[in-house]
Chain A
Amino acid sequence: MIKQVENPVLEIHDLTVSYDKKPVLWDIDLSVPKGKVIGIIGPNGAGKSTLIKAIMGLIPISSGYIKLFDEKLDAVRDHISYVPQRESVDWDFPTSVREVVLMGRYGKLGLFRRPRKADIEVAMDSLRKVGMEAHAERQISQLSGGQQQRIFLARALAQQADLYLMDEPFAGVDAATEKAIIRLLREMAIQNKTVVAVHHDLQTASKYFDWIILLNLRLVASGPTEDVFTPDLLQETYGGKLTLLSEITTLMAKEQFPHREAK
């Protein structure tokens, strides 16, 4: 069940991604609609983070292409915001909450320019939206997991983008924060922004997302939640039918096969 859409915000065509010649995403082909909250769902090691990183150009792709707003990434960076996994940074870094959120403005500032008053205002406003304005001057190591996630979210908001790609925004947050975040994401969708979030809790998935992408090394399904969130498709995503695929993958890594024959 892979539903393609007209005028997609994000279009992925025949994408394959490998680490050291070991493919972790195979022939992904999907498109997603605008103004929705979209969940990427799949078991650990399914390649969810890899998919997001490939979209953001953080890792090279072996084949295929990705279009955002019908353009190449470089043409539309300003409209896209990436929220990495919380553990991807060192929270002992000597900086304050406010400075981290201000980093969301750096793309608009470009090289060498310092944040202006307007940027600081946007940053403070974003902090307010996630309920962290009281902590603006805190050292980031003093934050709880939920608070860290909130300031990552504030940093993304400060980018004022149209498409948000979030890696596990609910990981390690308390129930109250999770509620606050999902409310914020819904508000963003109402303003016609698109949110793509990696998630791995099946309990809440159908409640949170309008559209779901089921992933496990290959694309299992992509479509409106009610069509995709079925026992069969979930079984296909989480069930053990992929042993052959992973055997081949390991073999390819061992023999250092190129993914595509050279043309």
Chain B
Amino acid sequence: MELLLEFLSFSDPNIRFVVLGSVLLTASSAIVGCFTFLKKKALVGDAVAHSILPGVCLGFLLAGSKNPLYLIVGAFITGWLSLVIIDAIVAKSKIKEDTAIGLILSVFFGMGILLLTMIQHSGNAAQSGLDQFLFGKAAALVGQDLIVFSIVAVTLIFFVVLFFKEFTLISFDKDLAIALGFPVRRIELVLTTLTVLAVVIGIQAVGVVLMAAILITPAAAARFWTDRVKIMVILAALFGAFSGFAGAFISYAAPAMPTGPWIVVVISIIAFTSFFFAPKKGILYRTWNQRKIKRQMVEENILKTIYSLGAISKNYFQPKTEQEILAARNFETSQLHLGLNRLKNQGYLKRSGDQWVLSPEGRDKGQHVVKLHRLWEVYLTKYLRIAPDHVHEDAETIEHVITPELEAKLEKLLEYPKLDPHESEIPYK
């Protein structure tokens, strides 16, 4: 805790640079990455990241020193070139996009490694540290880096806001964009340029290998929490910013750990958390929901069974043992037992000794399920012309799904039939 306060006080200017730099970088890459993600071009980030290396080396060779401007411009040019070539290959040949990406990625990266090795063996003392582009150096950010990061981050955010409508349009329906007369090629060029810019800057902090994660993972995580592009972009930026901040803090608390990988670890944890816990789309919610549906089906089936047993003797309130229920319908014993107890708590059943009795509400509910079952059987035989001896299984599931609106529609459509296809009476209230 003390450590956190000390960290947050920013008393050390180095900390300030690292934190602000990491946050700017991760947030702005995340924003641009949203559209890369929505256009289903997640691999593109990887291609650019790898294709930057030869540019960095060429920039160094030209400048003769690690002049950041030369390095960034060099990186930008080869990164951008790689995307243009990938597009050209896809457009002009039968090679698929993923193959083209793999091809270009390895060719450019190979050239980069070649150049880097050459430079390292040239005896030029200025070259030390050039390999930081491979693995990143977030913990060693200095004031000068920060200025560049800020300018780039602001540029990225400015253009994404400016082109928000256009980027969304081409991501969703490119043909419509063309049909409406938008300069789609130029808009895509802007998006490509922003992506390359984000990667060129980001790579200095986290390195080639982890860059794609910074670009795409926040968007993928954000997608779990929302169904609107705008909110997704904001969430991705927040996730990105948080991972930048947390990464910087962890590597501050444990100095042996580099910042870049920690940023990626944090954003991955956010992504996994989203994957498991997000409402509606998360695994947990879906599992829980499935369980709920399963329980509801067991409960409704129990009530239906007891109701049907009662219908034989016309006495719905006769106590039944679990054995009697099991004889009428096959339940898993444990499921039945739990279901009976839940129904008791819900007020649909009463217990006397080891026997169970429907409450008036329980009888109504059981009756209702039977009614839905039989209505559906009528519908299947009448409208889908399915033989009466085949409809029972279908109705077994559908009876639990039919909503009151659908029920009303069914009743009207079938004109309140009296009998189901097996000549059993359909109970209306």
Nearest-CB residue, chain A, relative to B227: A139
A103→B172 contact, CB < 8 A: yes
Which of A20, A74, A106 is the one whose CB lies under 8 Å from B169? Answer: A106
Note all chain B residues with C-beta closer than 8 A to A103. 169, 172-173, 176
A20→B94 contact, CB < 8 A: yes
Note all chain A residues with C-beta closer than 8 A to B172. 89-90, 93, 95, 100, 103
Q: Shortest distance in angstroms between A191's beta carbon and chain B's nearest beta carbon?
A: 22
Q: Mostly helix, strand, loop or mixed at chain B's interface?
A: helix
A/B pair count, beta carbons within 8 Å? 71
Scoring B166, B181, B226 by chain A CB atoms within 10 A of each residue's CB, the highest score goes to: B181
Known: A95-B168, A103-B169, A111-B166. A82 touches B227 (CB 8 A): no
Nearest-CB residue, chain A, relative to B180: A107
A89→B173 contact, CB < 8 A: yes
The answer to the question of B229 belonging to the interface, with a C-beta cut-off of 8 Å to chain A, is yes
Give Cα A20 to B93, complex, Å: 9
For window 159-175 of B, CB contacts with A under 8 Å fall at: 162-163, 165-166, 168-169, 171-173, 175
Give Cα A88 to B179, complex, Å: 14
B173→A95 contact, CB < 8 A: no
Which of A77, A84, A96, A109 is the one whose CB lies under 8 Å from B227? Answer: A96
For window 232-252 of B, CB contacts with A under 8 Å fall at: 232
Give Cα A195 to B162, complex, Å: 35
Give Cα A196 to B10, complex, Å: 66
Give Cα A57 to B184, complex, Å: 13
Interface string of A59-86 (1 = CB under 8 A from B): 0000000000000001001001110100
Give Cα A57 to B183, complex, Å: 13
For window 92-118 of A, CB contacts with B under 8 Å fall at: 93-96, 100, 103, 106-107, 109, 111-112, 114
Which of B165, B179, B226 is the one whose CB lies under 8 Å from A94? Answer: B226
B228→A84 contact, CB < 8 A: no
Known: A94-B228, A112-B165. A106 touches B38 (CB 8 A): no
A84→B182 contact, CB < 8 A: no
Note all chain A residues with C-beta closer than 8 A to B228. 94-96
The answer to the question of A205 belonging to the interface, with a C-beta cut-off of 8 Å to chain B, is no
Q: Shortest distance in angstroms between B220's beta carbon and chain A's nearest beta carbon?
A: 12
Nearest-CB residue, chain A, relative to B226: A94
Give Cα A53 to B162, complex, Å: 29
Note all chain A residues with C-beta closer than 8 A to B179. 56-58, 77, 80-82
B178→A94 contact, CB < 8 A: no
Nearest-CB residue, chain B, relative to A91: B172
Note all chain A residues with C-beta closer than 8 A to B168. 95
Scoring B162, B168, B175, B228 by chain A CB atoms within 10 A of each residue's CB, the highest score goes to: B175
Note all chain A residues with C-beta closer than 8 A to B368. none
For window 84-126 of B, CB contacts with A under 8 Å fall at: 94
Note all chain A residues with C-beta closer than 8 A to B183. 111
Scoring A57, A77, A94 by chain B CB atoms within 10 A of each residue's CB, the highest score goes to: A94
The answer to the question of B223 belonging to the interface, with a C-beta cut-off of 8 Å to chain A, is yes
Note all chain B residues with C-beta closer than 8 A to A58. 175, 178-179
Q: Shortest distance in angstroms between A89's beta carbon and chain B's nearest beta carbon?
A: 5
Nearest-CB residue, chain A, relative to B162: A112
Interface string of B214-232 (1 = CB under 8 A from A): 0000000001001111001
B165→A56 contact, CB < 8 A: no
Q: Shortest distance in angstroms between A29's beta carbon and chain B's nearest beta carbon?
A: 23
B175→A82 contact, CB < 8 A: yes
Interface string of B256-292 (1 = CB under 8 A from A): 0000000000000000000000000000000000000
Give Cα A112 to B229, complex, Å: 17
Which of B94, B163, B165, B176 is the one whose CB lies under 8 Å from A82? Answer: B176
Q: 19 other contacts beyond A95-B228, A107-B182, with CB at 8 A cut-off?
A: A53-B175, A56-B175, A57-B178, A82-B179, A84-B173, A84-B176, A88-B175, A89-B172, A89-B173, A90-B40, A94-B228, A95-B168, A95-B227, A103-B169, A103-B172, A106-B177, A109-B165, A111-B183, A155-B176
Which chain B residues have a beta carbon within 8 Å of chain A's beta carbons? 38, 40, 94, 162-163, 165-166, 168-169, 171-173, 175-183, 223, 226-229, 232
Q: Which 5 residue pairs spanning A and B have beta carbons closest together?
A: A107-B180, A139-B227, A82-B179, A77-B181, A56-B179
10 contacts between A and B (CB under 8 A): A77-B179, A90-B40, A94-B223, A94-B229, A95-B229, A106-B169, A106-B180, A111-B166, A111-B182, A112-B162
